[in-house]
């Protein structure tokens, strides 16, 4: 694996050495249950509260506003279903967009099957939701709006402060799946104006299987989806994943430092990769917004080169396709389709996700390998 270059940081990130170091004692000697009253439990509970403060520090909120979960899929479910159930006396309408992650889309589909009304707003050619469309879609029945901070496929950043202002004006709650934005983009929840936000550790150099839901103090708490002990104020019962929580806290603290000091280096590498590919190859198309985009995201269509063949040809580079494959068929990404990318072109998309540990030398190797593979596959294609 050592000679494979990892450029798939939107899928997951490696654990930072500092994060692993912080977690180790809680996987070994400090193994207590944070709910126990003896010293093993107190040690674990103290670590959980320290981590809660570290997360809160990154989000510019108070520690009481953080609920630990198993990751963003659970946070999204808790936010959408938990709010839908608790607010159903007020109304039954939820608004989201067609370019959301399946953790949101499929949760909304499930609620629709239970009788809730759901509206899926279109996105523009860059993948952005229009605040005007949000305003036009709000009815007296609307209880919740949910729009992602930044798209996980094309990196496009939604105008979430403007959307938040529209939701607030109409007294409607606003949830954001902020997984890809938190720790990379401004992350102060109050300044963004969101009422609820989902995050996950494994996108910010922390461990998998741990995340959180931010629930603003003045807002509505979601109803718990689980029955069990009273952990996390009863909103998310279950024995706390102490080592994971410590890892999430450390990852948040590190991200905050990195945002302040190391900022634009990832975007510079990403732009170098883009420029060098453009110089060597023609018929390349950028997906997503050219500026309002995550610093490490480069999603390109390589016309005429099917993405699954492209990926199979790359032996030294780990990247992703923009399309979801199953054993029977290859489907174009729902995000690219929502953005109006023609189906045949959407099937040629490749997502490069650069991260904190990538280097300029790696960019050169990736360019070399991609150019060779694309030229070879184009040469084989029938005219
Ligand atoms: C935008 C977005 N939402 C939700 C998720 C799900 O996160 P998790 O893997 O923590 O369940 C992901 C991860 O792929 C994501 O990118």
Residues 279-321: pLDDT tens digits? 999 999 999 999 999 999 999 999 999 999 999 999 999 999 8
Cβ neighbour number for residue 85 with a 10 Å cutoff: 15
- Pairing relation of β-strands 173-177 and 142-146? parallel
pLDDT of residue 341 exceeding 60, the answer is: yes
Distance from residue 209's CA to the centre of ligand 1 (Å): 11
Indicate the pLDDT class of residue 326, thresholds 50, 70 and 90.
very low
The overall average pLDDT reported for the chain is 95
Is residue 55 within 8 Å of residue 246, measured between CB atoms? no
pLDDT band at 323 (very low <50, low <70, confident <90, very high): low
> What pLDDT shows up at residue 8?
97
- Residue 383: per-residue pLDDT: 61
Q: How confident is the model at residue 382 (pLDDT cuts 50, 70, 90)?
A: low
Report the DSSP beta bridge partners of residue 211.
69, 200
**Amino acid 302: pLDDT:** 98
- Rounded to an integer, what distance in angstroms lies between the CA atom of residue 321 and that of residue 207? 23
Please say whether the beta carbons of 192 and 3 come within 8 A.
no
User: Among the atoms of ligand 1, which is closest to the Cα of residue 103?
Assistant: 4
pLDDT of residue 260: 74
| Atom number in ligand 1 closest to CA 200 | 10
Please say if the pLDDT value at position 104 is more than 90: yes
**Beta bridge pairs of residue 318:** 6
How far, in Å, CA of 285 to CA of 264, rounded? 23
Ligand 1 pocket, Cβ-based, cut-off 6 angstroms: 71-73, 76, 101, 103, 148, 152, 177, 179-180, 200, 211
How many angstroms does the Cα of residue 299 sit away from the middle of ligand 1?
18
Tell whether the model's pLDDT for residue 165 goes beyond 70. yes
Closest ligand 1 atom to 152 CA: 16
What single DSSP character describes residue 330? E
Ligand 1 centre to CA of 379 (Å) is: 37
Distance 194 CA to ligand 1 centre (A): 18
pLDDT of residue 374: 98
Mean pLDDT of 329-344: 92
Verify whether residue 61 is a known catalytic residue.
Answer: no
Q: Whose CA is nearest to atom 16 of ligand 1?
A: 152
Per residue in 244-264, pLDDT (tens digit) is 999 999 999 999 999 876 657
Q: How far apart are CA 288 and CA 304, in angstroms?
A: 20
CA 202 to chain centre: 10
Helix (H) or strand (E) holding 97: strand 93-97
- Mutation test residue for ligand 1: of 73, 102, 245, 320, the one with most atoms within 8 Å of CB: 73
* The pLDDT value given to residue 234: 92
Residue nearest ligand 1's atom 11 by CA? 73
Annotated active-site residue in 61, 108, 252, 325: 325
pLDDT band at 58 (very low <50, low <70, confident <90, very high): very high
Q: What is the pLDDT of residue 275?
A: 98
Instruction: Please name which of 292, 295, 301 lies closest in space to residue 270, comparing C-alpha atoms.
Output: 295
| pLDDT of 130 higher than 60 | yes
Atom of ligand 1 nearest to the CA of 208: 10
Query: What is the pLDDT at residue 328?
Result: 47
* Residue with CA at minimum distance from ligand 1 atom 14: 11
Label the pairing between strands 117-121 and 330-331: unpaired
Separation of alpha carbons 255 and 277, rounded Å: 29
- Give the pLDDT mean for 353-375: 97
Which domains does the chain possess? 17-259 (3.40.640.10), 264-380 (3.90.1150.10)
State the number of CA atoms in the 13 A half-sphere of 68 facing the CB.
29
pLDDT at position 381, please? 77
3-state class percentages of the chain: helix first, strand second, coil last, to nearest 5: 40, 15, 40
Q: How far is the CA of 355 from the centre of ligand 1 (A)?
A: 17
Res. 243 pLDDT band, cuts 50 70 90: very high
Please give the helix or strand (H or E) that residue 213 lies within, else none.
Answer: strand 211-215
Compute the residue count for the chain: 383
With 80 as the cut, is the pLDDT of residue 331 above it? yes
Average of pLDDT values for 191-220? 95
Residue 292: the pLDDT is 96
Band of pLDDT at residue 322, cut at 50, 70 and 90: low
Beta strand pairing call for 324-325 and 330-331:
antiparallel
Whole-model pTM: value is 0.96
CB-based contacts of 218, cutoff 8 Å, min separation 6: none
DSSP calls for 272-322: HHHHHHHHH-SSEEEES-SSSB-TTEEEEEETTS-HHHHHHH-SSEE-EES
Closest CA to 162 of 150, 174, 178, 171: 174
380 Cα to the center of ligand 1, angstroms: 36
**How far apart are alpha carbons 221 and 214 in whole angstroms?**
10
Pocket test for ligand 1, best of 74, 75, 103, 198 (most atoms within 8 A of CB): 103
């Amino acid at each position: 694996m050592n000679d494979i270059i990892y450029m798939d940081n939107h899928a997951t990130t490696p654990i930072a050495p500092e994060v692993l170091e912080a977690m180790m004692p809680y996987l070994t000697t400090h193994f207590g249950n944070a709910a126990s009253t003896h010293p093993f439990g107190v040690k674990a509970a103290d670590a959980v509260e320290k981590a809660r403060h570290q997360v809160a520090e990154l989000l510019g909120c108070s520690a009481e506003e953080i609920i630990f979960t198993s990751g963003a899929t659970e946070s999204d479910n808790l936010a959408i279903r938990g709010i839908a159930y608790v607010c159903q006396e007020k109304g039954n309408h939820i608004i989201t967009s067609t370019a959301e992650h399946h953790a949101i889309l499929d949760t909304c589909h499930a609620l629709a099957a239970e009788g809730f009304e759901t509206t899926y707003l279109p996105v523009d050619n860059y993948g952005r939701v229009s605040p005007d469309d949000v305003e036009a879609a709000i009815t007296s029945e609307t209880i919740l709006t949910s729009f992602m901070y930044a798209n996980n496929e094309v990196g496009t950043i939604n105008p979430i402060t403007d959307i938040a202002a529209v939701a607030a004006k109409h007294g409607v709650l606003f949830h954001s799946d902020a997984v890809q934005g938190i720790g990379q983009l401004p992350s102060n929840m109050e300044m963004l104006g969101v009422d609820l936000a989902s995050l996950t550790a494994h996108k910010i150099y922390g461990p998998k299987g741990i995340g959180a839901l931010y629930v603003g103090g003045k807002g509505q708490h979601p109803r718990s989806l689980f029955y069990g002990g009273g952990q996390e104020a009863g909103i998310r019962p279950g024995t706390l994943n102490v080592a994971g929580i410590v890892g999430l806290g450390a990852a948040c603290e590190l991200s905050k430092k990195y945002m302040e000091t190391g900022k634009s280096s990832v975007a510079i590498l990403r732009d170098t990769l883009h420029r060098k590919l453009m110089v060597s190859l023609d018929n390349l198309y950028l997906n997503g917004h050219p500026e309002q985009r995550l610093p490490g995201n480069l999603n390109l269509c390589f016309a005429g080169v099917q993405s699954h063949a492209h990926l199979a040809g790359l032996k030294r580079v780990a990247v992703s396709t923009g399309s979801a494959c199953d054993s029977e068929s290859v489907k174009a990404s729902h995000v690219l389709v929502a953005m109006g990318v023609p189906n045949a072109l959407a099937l040629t998309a490749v997502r490069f996700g650069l991260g904190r540990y990538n280097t300029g030398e790696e960019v050169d190797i990736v360019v070399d390998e991609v150019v060779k593979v694309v030229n070879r596959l184009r040469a084989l294609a029938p005219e």
